[in-house]
Amino acid sequence: MNKAAIIAQIEQEFSQRFRVIDNTGTDKKVVAGQFPDVIMMRPEPPPNSDILFVMKIESGENLVDSVAEWKELGSGSGVLYIIVPDHRLDLTKKLASATNVRARFAAYTTAKDGTVTIRYE
């Protein structure tokens, strides 16, 4: 999984609508006691601290280990998006539903040339 490419795609897609923060660097922001990979905030008027979305990008492996983190992130005021590989989407949804995680989902696919496509639900 190329997390940087996925985040770049998210930034490209939404930077007009939101303040998109890549939270995978060194200066990480804490949301609900966790470190989401991407934070989306209200664009105007700056400065504001209204978190609209938090995103967690998963490789699709060991999803069960992430449930506790999802739960925390899903309990915050921002909507949690769990972004998983397309072939793991159904499994992720079932897992989230079974563990009462409040989240929305998105599935990503990576083409052979490295182009990332994300489908949001």
Residue 27 or residue 85: which is nearer to another protein going by CB? 85
In a 3-state reduction of DSSP, which class is residue 20? strand
Which residue, 63 or 74, has its beta carbon nearer to another protein?
74
Q: d(Cα 113, Cα 119) in Å, to the nearest integer?
A: 18
61 vs 97 by CB, closer to another protein: 97
d(CA 79, CA 106): 12
| Residues forming the site for another protein (CB under 8 A) | 14, 17-18, 42-44, 50, 52-53, 77-79, 81, 104, 106, 120-121
Residue 43 Cβ vs another protein, minimum distance, rounded to whole Å:
5
At its nearest, how many Å lie between another protein and the CB of residue 53? 7
Contact call for residues 38 and 10 (beta carbons, < 8 A): yes
Q: Give the SS3 label for residue 5.
A: helix
